[in-house]
Each structure stands twice: as C-alpha cells, then as structure tokens.
Structure 1
Amino acid sequence: MSIDVRLLLIEDNHADADLTQEALDGGRIAIQLRHALDGVEALDLLRRSGEDAYRPDLILLDLNLPRMDGHQFLTQLRLDPQLKPIPVVVLTSSEAPKDVARSYQLGANCYVAKPMDLSAFQSIVKAVESFWFGIVRLPPSQHA
C-alpha cells in the first residue's frame, strides 16, 4: 500500500536539498516534495489560494536561511491560523542549545541536528520519514 504525502523542504543549501530528495526517493511512501530556499519563499507558497494553494503534511525547516531565517519563519507560521497546524521538523546543522530551545518555544514539533556524514544524514532523513509518515497521526490533510 502506497501512502501519498506532501512535504515542504525549506533549505538554502542545494546539496542538502538534493540529498534529502535522494533519501526520500524509492520508499513505500510517495512523497510530493516541494522546495523553498528561504522563509519568504515558503510563506509565499503556503499562503497561495485556489488552484495554486499548497498545504504540506509536514515541513522540514533549516534555521540558517537568507532573507527570513527559520526562527522568523516559525513565528510567522504559528501566527497564521490556517498554517499553524502544520507540523514542523527543524533539520539544521546547529546544535546550539539556544537554537534548540528557541525552536521549541516558537512551536517546532521536533529538532534534529544534521550530521556531517553522508550516510548518517540519509539515515536521519529516512528516520524522520518513517516516524512522521509511519508512526505519527498527522492532522487531516488540507489537500485533495
């Protein structure tokens, strides 16, 4: 049985975005991945309406982004009643306790530090996929 889910990746590093896509490809879960380079682009995508509307089941968010960083994005997301229910996994290179604490204070559902090792990174992405799309009960889908 194939599960179809939508995932928004907010990541300015193209190599990390490609590695994330690669790790998600070929699994039992059919993931429609959209990619935004920063919080401004992501909010623009999320706030569209009509045929252009995009509501992911989960957001993977880097913190260190241009224009609008991950913490600013989380603040804006959680202030919007339509977007507030979307779960957010912070997937970032920062292991700073202040970044972890602030992310949770702003409404992140999970905080994962990106490992530097390629196979460890792919394992982390697979574990996030397995947990969020295999174990967790997500809010009802807002897409057709």
Structure 2
Amino acid sequence: MKGLIVSVEDNATDSALMSRIFDKEMPLVEVRFIDDSLEALSWFKAYDDVSRIPDLILLDIKMPRLNGLDLLKEIRKIELFKYAPIVMMSSSDQISDKDKAYLNGANSYLEKPKNYAELKERIPIVAKYWLTLNK
C-alpha cells in the first residue's frame, strides 16, 4: 500500500513511536512529520501538488502556539484540503474536545493510546482505513 500521510505532532516521543510503527507496518507509505503547528500551517498553505494530496492528515490537539483545533479550522479554509481526511489525536477523552473536533471539520477523533502496544495496534488500523477502504 502506498500513500502520503502528514502528521502534526509536537511531542517528539510520540512522533518517533509513530515513525517506527509506520516504518515497520506500512513501509511504502510516505509520512511527513511536522512538529510545530504554525510550521504545519505554512506547509499546508504552500503545498500545491494537486496530483498528490495527502491521503490522511493526523493532527494533535494540544499544541503550543496554535492548537490543533485552530489548525484544523485553518486547513479546512484551504481549497486543496477542504475534503482531505483529517483525524484528530489527543490524550483528552473530554466530550467537548471531540465535539469541537467534529464541528470544525475533523473526519475522526482518536484518543491517544496510553502505551506503545495500543498505539502499534491502532495507528495502522486508522491509516489503512483512510488509505484503502475510504476511497
């Protein structure tokens, strides 16, 4: 399976774990990791490869400078990403965070697993769904 995933995550440990999972479980998928929400917004605004729109965007909610919900709103304003699949990821299980995510255009909300084993199980399932089943 091939594809392009963009992950916006400010936690270096979480990004490293996800990178390891993608390398092992989905080696043909290109994953672009961005560790700063404002840098991510600039990247999305400058991105112009209409032939290769990301198959999945993973956004952390709790980020400094610009939180993930505000980043989500800004991404949805960009024509190229208006309908791109965006999955919000957070350690928060608060209903209000989930509601805000969906109200602002998220396609899905994933509560971050508490340990590596759960993360290793869930991330490939989520990615495979958006890259293969939801076409």
Is TM > 0.5 for Structure 1 vs Structure 2? Answer: yes
Match of 1:86 among 80, 84, 87: 84
Instruction: Determine if contact 1:63/1:69 at 8 Å carries over to the other structure.
Output: yes
Per the TM alignment, residue 31 of structure 1 is displaced from its structure 2 partner at its CA by: 1.1
Partner of residue 34, structure 2? 36
Partner of residue 124, structure 1? 122
Match of 1:104 among 86, 102, 105: 102
Deviations 1:28-84 (A, max 9, x none): 561111111232111111122568xx7422100100011111010011111222221
Unaligned runs of 5+ in 1: 138-144
Secondary structure, aligned partner of 1:25: helix
Match of 1:64 among 41, 62, 65: 62
Instruction: Determine if contact 1:38/1:69 at 8 Å carries over to the other structure.
Output: no
Amino acid at match of 1:30: L
Give me the CA root mean square deviation.
Answer: 1.9
Instruction: Determine if contact 1:91/1:112 at 8 Å carries over to the other structure.
Output: yes
Most deviating of 72-81 and 20-29? 20-29
Amino acid at match of 1:133: L
For 1:49 and 1:134, locate their aligned partners in 2 and report how far apart those are by CA, in whole Å: 23
Most deviating of 104-113 and 126-135? 126-135
Q: Once the two structures are aligned, what percentage of the paired residues are identical? A: 29
Matches within 5 A, 1:1-20: 3-20=1-18
For 1:42 and 1:70, locate their aligned partners in 2 and report how far apart those are by CA, in whole Å: 10
Instruction: Determine if contact 1:9/1:35 at 8 Å carries over to the other structure.
Output: yes
Secondary structure, aligned partner of 1:86: coil
1:123/1:19 CA distance change after superposition, 3 Å: same
1:28/1:62 CA distance change after superposition, 3 Å: closer
Secondary structure, aligned partner of 1:102: helix
Unaligned runs of 5+ in 2: none
Give the length in aligned residue pairs.
134
Instruction: Determine if contact 1:64/1:70 at 8 Å carries over to the other structure.
Output: yes
Instruction: Determine if contact 1:6/1:57 at 8 Å carries over to the other structure.
Output: yes
For 1:97 and 1:28, locate their aligned partners in 2 and report how far apart those are by CA, in whole Å: 31
